[in-house]
Structure 1
Amino acid sequence: MAAYEEFLTGCFPSIDSELVSYVGGMLEDNDVVSSSNVMYEAIGPFLEQIDDSKTEDDIKHICDRLYALISKSVDTSVQSNGPNKILGAPVHLSSLLQETNAPGTDTSSIWISKRDSNAQVDSKQLAKAEAQLLKKQKKQADKDSSAKKPQNGVMEGPTASQQINRRDQKLESSGTNKSYDIKIENFDIAFGDRVLILGSSIHLSAGRRYGLCGRNGLGKTTLLKTISSGNLQIPSHITILHVEQEVVGDDTLSIDSVLESDTERHRLLNREKELAKLINLSPTGNKGDNSVSTELSEIYEALEAIEADKAPARAAVILAGLGFTPAMQKACTRSLSGGWRMRLALARALFSKPDLLLLDEPTNMLDMKAIIWLENYLQTWATTILVVSHDRSFLNAVCTDIVHLHSRNLITYKGNYDQFDKTKDERLKNQKKEYEAQKQYREHIQVFIDRFRYNANRASQVQSKLKLLEKLPPLELPGKDVEVSMKFPECDKLTGNILQLDEMCFHYTKERPIFISVDCNANMKSRICIVGDNGAGKTTLLKILMGELSPVKGIRHAHRSLRIGYFSQHHVDQLEMDLTSVELLAQRFPGKPQEQYRNMLGQYGVTGELAMRPVTSLSGGQKSRVAFAVMSMSNPNFFILDEPTNHLDMETIEALGEALNKFEGGVILVSHDERLITMVCQELWVVKNNKVISLEGGFDHYKKIVEEELKEQGC
C-alpha cells in the first residue's frame, strides 16, 4: 500500500476503498503538485464529504501532510538516478516520433510514451465521487436558502456567489463546463536544423485579442501553422481556424461560400429540407409517424436559437465591410482574383466565429477602408484572437495583449502595441540596471579576493567569497535587437516638375473608364501617398506614371534624365528563388565585382551568410529587402513604391521611413500603413470616381472621410 493511501485510511477509517483509489489516481495523475493549496483544491471537496465532523482547517492540515508525503517521494526518485535529465541541446520530437514508429524499434522513450490505459481513473468511481460531491453541494445550497427569511412577503434572491455556484453545478452536471483558455507549456519549435522557439510557454485567455510581434524570420508564421496543425496540445473542444490559404474558386456564390462556413447552420438547413421532402412525399401527410415531425420541430428550434434567419444579412455586412460590392457578393468564386479570394477566406473566418482565430498579416490584402472596418469589427470580437501584424495602428486598435517573440522565447505584455513598446523599453532599462549592480557586486567580491588571497589570517574569508562567487548565476548582458538601418544611394538632382500628367484619360474598355481628365505632377521634393478603394485604379495610375501604360487621351511628361525605381507589391513573384541574393544581383546587373553586390545588399540588412542563402529560404521581409537592393542597383532618382510595407517587421518599416526621408529624390507610394504614411508623406492623392484629388487635410482628414462613409453604408 502506498504511503498516502495508508495515511488516508488512518485519518478516515470509514473511507470507501473506491474513493481511496480515486483520490490516489488523481494524485498519481498530476505530474507536478506545486503546493499544498493545489492539493487542497484537488481533493479537499472529496475528503470533506467523508467525515462531516472535520472542519475546513482539519482538511487543510491533512492536505499539508499529504503534500509532504508526496514531495518526499518525488525528491527520493530524483536522487536515485531517475529519468530526470538536463539537456544540452533541444529535442526534436518529430524525428523521435518517426524513429519510435519505425518497425522493429523499441518504443520505450522518456520523450514519447503512451499512458497505460489501466492507470486511468475508473469512470464508475469518478461518477460516484462526483455524485456525492453534488449531493453535498445541493445540501449546502438548501441550508443557505432556508437560512434566508422573507422580508415583506418577498423571499430574498440568491447572492452573486450562490448564482455562480448554481451555474457551475448545472454546467458540471451537463458536461459542458469546459474552459476556453489555452495554455501550452514548455514547447520547442524547430525548422530543419534551426531552433525557432526553445522551452517557451504561451497562455491565451478566452476572449482576449493577442498580437504576435517580432523580427522577420524568427518563426511567427511557423508558430501559427504549428498551432493550427494540432502539433501543440490544445483541448479538443476548442475550434481553431487559421486564415492562410485563399478560397478555391468554383461555381459557389461568394455570399453562399460565407454562409456555408457555419457548418452547424448548413447541416440543420440540409436536414430540414430532407425532412420536409419526406413529409411532402408521404401520401398520408406522415400522420402515422410523429418522429419526423418531432425532429423537424427540434430543427426549427435549433435554427431559431442560432438566429439562422439573420445569417444572410450578417454575411452581407461582413462582405461589404471587406469591400465586396453587391454584384461581387453574387458572383462565383472562380471569377475572383487571388486577393479577393483571400478576403473571402477572411470573411468566412469572421462569419464562422471559431474559438481561436489565427490571422497572419490580415491587412496586407486590404485597402484603408477595409482595414478601418476590420479594426472596428474585431474590437467587439467575443472569442480569442492571435494575429501576426506589422501594422502598428492596427495592433493599437485591436489588441488587448502583445506576445513578443524574442531570443527564441515568448513574452506576453498587457495592453496594445504602444503600451508594449513603453513597457519593453522600461524592462530593458531595469535589466541593464540589474546587470550593472550585479557586475559591481562581483567586482567588489573579486577585489577582496585579490587583496587577501595570500593572507593566512583571511584565508577562510577568501574561501567563502570564492564559493559565493561560484554560486552566482552567469552574468549576461540584456539582449537587445540589432538596430535595422536602410540607406538609399545618392542620386542626380533634377529641377522643376519631373513627372506630370495633363488632361489624362484612360480606360481598358470604353464602357468602363478608369480616369477622366486627370491633372497631377511631382518633383524631386515630392513625398506623395496614393490612397483609395481596391479597384479604383491606384496600380493603374502608377503604371501610367512609369510609362508602362499610355494614356488614351492627354499627355504624360517626364524629365529626360528621370530614372524610376519601382517596387511592386508582387515583388516576390519576380525574384529567381533558386539563386542566392548575390547571384540574383549579378544576373540582373552583370559585370560588377561581387563586393559591390554584397555592399548593396548590406545597405538593406542582407549581410553575411544571409546573402549566400537561396532566396526561397528567406522570410517574406528578407525577400522584400532583396527587392529593395535590386531596385536601387540602377541608381534611380525617383521611387514609385506599391505596398512596400507588406511582410516588413515594425523595425524595418521605421528604418524604411527614415531612409525615404533622407532620400534626395522624389517618392510616390501606395500604402495602407498609417505609421509610414504619417512619417514620410506630405501630400495625399485620393483615387475616386475616375479622378485623382489632392487632399489638403492629409491622412487624418482622409481617415475621417472613410469612417463617415462606413457609417453611411451601415458597416
Structure 2
Amino acid sequence: METDIRSILPNIDPVVSEYSVGYLTHASTAWTGEEEAQALSPLTEAAETVTEILLSASGDPDAALQDKVRLLVEKWVDKYAQANGASEERRAPAIRRLDQTIQVSAQRNMSSTLAVATGGVDLESANARKVESKVDRKKLEKAERKIAAKQSKKQFKTVEYEASRLLNQPESTQSYEEFYMAVNPLQLGSSSGQGKTKDIKLDNIDVSIGGQRILTDTTFTLAYGHRYGLVGNNGVGKSTLLRALSRRDLAIPTHISILHVEQEATLQAVLDADVWRKYLIKEQAEITEKLAAIEAQRSSMADTSADAARLDRDREAQDNRLGDIQAKLAEMESDKAESRAASILAGLGFSAERQQYATKTFSGGWRMRLALARALFCEPDLLLLDEPSNMLDVPSITFLSNYLQGYPSTVLVVSHDRAFLNEVATDIIHQHSQRLDYYRGANFESFYATKEERKKTAKREYENQMAQRAHLQAFIDKFRYNAAKSSEAQSRIKKLERMPVLEPPEAEYSVKFKFPDVEKLSPPIVQMSEVTFGYAKDKILLRDVDLDVQLDSRIGIVGPNGAGKTTVLKLLIGKLSPTQGLISQHPRLRIGFFAQHHVDALDLSLSAVSFMAREYPGRTDEEYRRQLGAFGITGTTGLQKMAVLSGGQKSRVAFACLALTSPHILVLDEPSNHLDIEAMDALADALNEFQGGVLMVSHDVTMLQTVCTSLWVCDGGTVEKFPGDVQAYKRRIAAQADAAGVVKAH
C-alpha cells in the first residue's frame, strides 16, 4: 500500500505513509465485543482518519487528488475486509481472549510500522530519505485520541498500541519539593506510620515502558533494613524499576518514605533535601507566631466571653499540632542535621570551603555527589541508588561503602561494581527474563557462584528429563500397538503424562568486545616531560608531570575527583596544551579516546548506524552493523534511536565508534561506567588482548586489577607511580580518612 500512496503523493513523509498503513492494518483485526456491533467498525473509522491524514499531508490537494486518495483508501479497506473472510458490513465480531499481552509486530499480517514505532527504530536510516513532515498535528492528535478511546472500550486488552512518535508531549514540570511531598505525604501523630511494618511485598506486578514489558507477574519483596544489590544485563529495565518505585507507580504503602538519587545541590541544598524537616521547621515557626498572637489577644479578654473560649480552642489545636511537629523533629534528630550533612559532604570529597559554594558552580560529577549526599542525609525508609559509584572516585566510593554498611533502613542499589556490591549488599536480586530471582544473604561473589550452579543444575535436569522423555516415547511408539507389550506401553504413557514440564534453560548471554589489530610503531610513542598546566595562570592544577606510554603499557590513574586525572588524559591526546613542558607523539600515532561523558558526543536522535555513517563515512550499513555487533549491539538495536538505549548500550556504541579509528593507544576515562558485569569482563579481556597501549582513569577496582600493570596516583598537583596495587591504595585512603576524622556513618 505504501507504494500506492507514494505513486499518488510522491513527496509524502515516509513516517506518515507507514503510520497510515499500520493504522489500517491494525484496525482490520481490531474487533472486540458486541457493544461495537451496532457502531462503525474500527476499519471504517480508521479509513476516515487515514483519509484525513493523507489529505492533510498532501498540502492543499485539488478535487482530483482528493478523489484519488479516497479511492485508494476504499480499495484497501475492501481488500482487508475480503482477506478476513467477509465484507466489512456483514462480518461478525470475533472476540479473542489472550493469556498475555502481545505486540502488534508479532502478528504476521500486520505492517512492521508498529514494531518500528514501539522499538524506536530510526526510520530515516530505513528509508534513506529525509523529508520535512507536512502532517497536520491537530488532525494527528485527533486520530490518536480516537485510537486511545477505542482501546479503552475494549473488553480484552489484545495488543499494546503505542501513540505515534510524531507526537512528543512535554513532561509536566515539578519542583523537587513538590515531587517529594507528592511521593512522600507528611504524616503526623497516629498516622505517622510508627509501629507499622516497613517490609515491602508486592505480588503479581507488571512493569512496562514504551510498549516493552520489563517484569511480568512477578513478586517484589524487600525486608526492612536489608541492603539489596539489583543486578542484570544492560537493557533489562533495572533503572525503569527504580523509577517506578520512586514515583509509587507500584503500590508501596505511603507510610514508607522513598528517595531516589537525583542531581542537584550543596550544604544548604543537602539540608533542604530533607523536605519534611524544612517543611516542619517552617510550620513550627508559623505556629509559634500564631500562638503569640492568640496569647496577646487572649490577655485582654474576660475568661467567660465567647471570643475567649474560641481563642482557647484555637490555642489548644495549635498546641497539639506543635507537639506533633516537635515529636517528629525529635524523631528525625533535627538538631544534629547540620553536622551530619557536613560530615556526609566531607566524606564525599567536599572541603569545608566547597560546602559553601552555590550549586550552579559545580560540574555534573560533583552534582551527582550532591544528589547522593541529599539521599544519605534524608535517610528515607527505602533508599534507591542507580549506579552511585559511576561519578565517584576511589576515596568517595570507599566512604560510601562504609556509610551504607551502617545504614539503618532499606537500600536498593543498581550497580555493576563487584567490589562495591561485595562490601555493601546483604542480598542480591537478579533481574532477567521479565522476572526477579532472590539470593538472600548473598554478596555479589556468592550470588555469582550460586547463579552459575543453579544454571548448571537446571540445564542438567532439563537434559536428563528430555532424554528420559525421548526414551519413554521411543518405547511407546514401538510397542503401543503390540498386544504383548500394550500394558507396558500404557504404563509408560501415564508416566510420561505425570512428568513435570521443565522450562528449557535460558540461552547463554555472552558478549565479546574486539579492538582491531595494531600497526607496529617504533618508540617513543607518546611522552609527557615536565608538564605543568593550569586553566588560569594563577591557578596551577598539575606540576612537573612525567609520563611515558608505549604500545605495551597498561597504566591505571587513580585519585580524588578534581585532582586533574581527566586533564592528564586531555593533555596527552592534545585536547589541551601545557602551560610549560613538552608533549611529544609519534608522527603516525592514532589515539582512541573514550570520554567519561561519551553520551554528549552521541546524537541521540539518530540510530547507531546512522550516527556512524555520518561521523565515519565510507562504509556500508552492513559493515557498521558488523562493527556494532563486535561490541554486543546486535539485531535491530543498531537501528533504534540511541535515545531509547540504556546507558550500557550507549557505551558499547561509543566503543564501536572508537574502534573504527584503528587506534595504537587507547585512552579511557571511566570506561566501565554503565556496563553490565558481562560487558565489563568482555572489555577487560579485549583490553588484555589489545596489541597497543592502554591508559585509563577508572574507579572500578576489578577493572584496574584485571587490566593495569602499573598504578599512578594523581593528587596534590602531581602524578606519581604508586608502589602497590589498588587494594594497597584503598587501605592508604581508609587510613588517611581515619586520621582526618571523617565520620563514616551515623
TM-score if structure 2 supplies the norm length? 0.70
How far is the alpha carbon of 1:279 from its aligned partner? 7.2
User: Does residue 296 of structure 2 align to residue 258 of structure 1?
Assistant: no
Aligned ranges for residues 489-504 of structure 1 at < 5 Å?
A: 489-504=516-531
Bigger shift: 574-583 or 475-484?
475-484
**2:383 is matched with which residue?**
357
Q: 2:401 aligns with which of 375, 381, 392?
A: 375
**2:451 is matched with which residue?**
424
**2:673 is matched with which residue?**
646
Change (3 A) 1:176 1:534: closer
Change (3 A) 1:667 1:285: farther
**1:166 is matched with which residue?**
none
Aligned ranges for residues 172-571 of structure 1 at < 5 Å?
A: 176-243=194-261, 245-247=262-264, 254-275=266-287, 277=289, 303-414=329-440, 415-571=442-598
CA separation in 2, counterparts of 1:100 and 1:632? 45
How far is the alpha carbon of 1:280 from its aligned partner? 7.2
- The answer to whether the Cα contact below 8 Å between 2:101 and 2:157 also exists between their aligned partners in 1 is no
CA separation in 1, counterparts of 2:150 and 2:446? 54
- Structure 2's unaligned 5+ residue stretches are 1-95, 104-117, 119-144, 159-188, 301-311
Deviations 1:64-104 (A, max 9, x none): xxxxxxxxxxxxxxxxxxxxx99532389xx9xx9999699
How far is the alpha carbon of 1:286 from its aligned partner? 8.0
Change (3 A) 1:300 1:637: same
How far is the alpha carbon of 1:593 from its aligned partner? 3.1
Aligned partner of residue 456 in structure 1, secondary structure: coil
- Structure 1's unaligned 5+ residue stretches are 1-84, 112-170
Q: 1:594 aligns with which of 616, 621, 643?
A: 621
**1:90 is matched with which residue?**
101
How far is the alpha carbon of 1:338 from its aligned partner? 2.5
How far is the alpha carbon of 1:431 from its aligned partner? 1.1
One-letter identity of the residue aligned with 1:579: L
Deviations 1:446-487 (A, max 9, x none): 232133233113224323423443454445432143211111
- The answer to whether the Cα contact below 8 Å between 1:568 and 1:642 also exists between their aligned partners in 2 is yes
Deviations 1:114-147 (A, max 9, x none): xxxxxxxxxxxxxxxxxxxxxxxxxxxxxxxxxx
- The answer to whether the Cα contact below 8 Å between 1:100 and 1:106 also exists between their aligned partners in 2 is no
How far is the alpha carbon of 1:420 from its aligned partner? 0.2
How far is the alpha carbon of 1:702 from its aligned partner? 1.2
Change (3 A) 1:680 1:285: farther
CA separation in 1, counterparts of 2:550 and 2:647? 32
- The answer to whether the Cα contact below 8 Å between 1:532 and 1:688 also exists between their aligned partners in 2 is yes
- The answer to whether the Cα contact below 8 Å between 1:186 and 1:200 also exists between their aligned partners in 2 is yes
Change (3 A) 1:451 1:195: same
Aligned partner of residue 421 in structure 1, secondary structure: helix
One-letter identity of the residue aligned with 2:569: L
- The answer to whether the Cα contact below 8 Å between 2:664 and 2:692 also exists between their aligned partners in 1 is yes
- Identical aligned pairs, as a percentage? 45
Change (3 A) 1:184 1:283: closer
Aligned partner of residue 562 in structure 2, secondary structure: coil
How far is the alpha carbon of 1:501 from its aligned partner? 1.1
Aligned partner of residue 516 in structure 1, secondary structure: strand
One-letter identity of the residue aligned with 1:326: A
CA separation in 1, counterparts of 2:533 and 2:380? 45
One-letter identity of the residue aligned with 1:325: S
CA separation in 2, counterparts of 1:295 and 1:189? 40
One-letter identity of the residue aligned with 2:512: S
How far is the alpha carbon of 1:397 from its aligned partner? 0.6
CA separation in 2, counterparts of 1:275 and 1:455? 94
- The answer to whether the Cα contact below 8 Å between 1:645 and 1:671 also exists between their aligned partners in 2 is yes
Deviations 1:134-180 (A, max 9, x none): xxxxxxxxxxxxxxxxxxxxxxxxxxxxxxxxxxxxx9999843111
CA separation in 1, counterparts of 2:642 and 2:325? 54
How far is the alpha carbon of 1:608 from its aligned partner? 2.3
- The answer to whether the Cα contact below 8 Å between 2:532 and 2:544 also exists between their aligned partners in 1 is yes
Deviations 1:234-273 (A, max 9, x none): 2121111111x322x7xxxx21221222334323432443
Change (3 A) 1:514 1:473: same
- The answer to whether the Cα contact below 8 Å between 1:637 and 1:666 also exists between their aligned partners in 2 is yes
CA separation in 2, counterparts of 1:317 and 1:613? 44
Q: 1:659 aligns with which of 663, 677, 686?
A: 686
- The answer to whether the Cα contact below 8 Å between 1:100 and 1:107 also exists between their aligned partners in 2 is no
Change (3 A) 1:225 1:447: same
- The answer to whether the Cα contact below 8 Å between 1:529 and 1:684 also exists between their aligned partners in 2 is yes
Change (3 A) 1:575 1:108: closer
Aligned ranges for residues 32-51 of structure 1 at < 5 Å?
A: none
How far is the alpha carbon of 1:552 from its aligned partner? 0.9
CA separation in 1, counterparts of 2:489 and 2:212? 44
CA separation in 2, counterparts of 1:582 and 1:107? 39
One-letter identity of the residue aligned with 1:664: Q
Deviations 1:31-83 (A, max 9, x none): xxxxxxxxxxxxxxxxxxxxxxxxxxxxxxxxxxxxxxxxxxxxxxxxxxxxx
- The answer to whether the Cα contact below 8 Å between 2:205 and 2:220 also exists between their aligned partners in 1 is no
CA separation in 2, counterparts of 1:653 and 1:103? 46
One-letter identity of the residue aligned with 2:100: A
How far is the alpha carbon of 1:321 from its aligned partner? 1.1
Aligned partner of residue 482 in structure 1, secondary structure: coil
Deviations 1:564-595 (A, max 9, x none): 00001111111122322222222122122333
**1:139 is matched with which residue?**
none
How far is the alpha carbon of 1:407 from its aligned partner? 1.4
- The answer to whether the Cα contact below 8 Å between 1:661 and 1:680 also exists between their aligned partners in 2 is yes
CA separation in 2, counterparts of 1:278 and 1:444? 86
How far is the alpha carbon of 1:521 from its aligned partner? 1.0
- The answer to whether the Cα contact below 8 Å between 2:193 and 2:255 also exists between their aligned partners in 1 is no
**2:725 is matched with which residue?**
698
TM-score if structure 1 supplies the norm length? 0.73
Aligned residues: 562
- The answer to whether the Cα contact below 8 Å between 1:99 and 1:105 also exists between their aligned partners in 2 is no
CA separation in 2, counterparts of 1:433 and 1:453? 29
- The answer to whether the Cα contact below 8 Å between 2:566 and 2:669 also exists between their aligned partners in 1 is yes
Change (3 A) 1:582 1:674: same
Aligned partner of residue 224 in structure 2, secondary structure: coil
- The answer to whether the Cα contact below 8 Å between 1:532 and 1:686 also exists between their aligned partners in 2 is yes
Give RMSD over aligned pairs. Answer: 3.0
CA separation in 1, counterparts of 2:291 and 2:485? 102
CA separation in 1, counterparts of 2:320 and 2:625? 75
CA separation in 1, counterparts of 2:421 and 2:439? 13
**2:714 is matched with which residue?**
687
- The answer to whether the Cα contact below 8 Å between 1:213 and 1:390 also exists between their aligned partners in 2 is yes
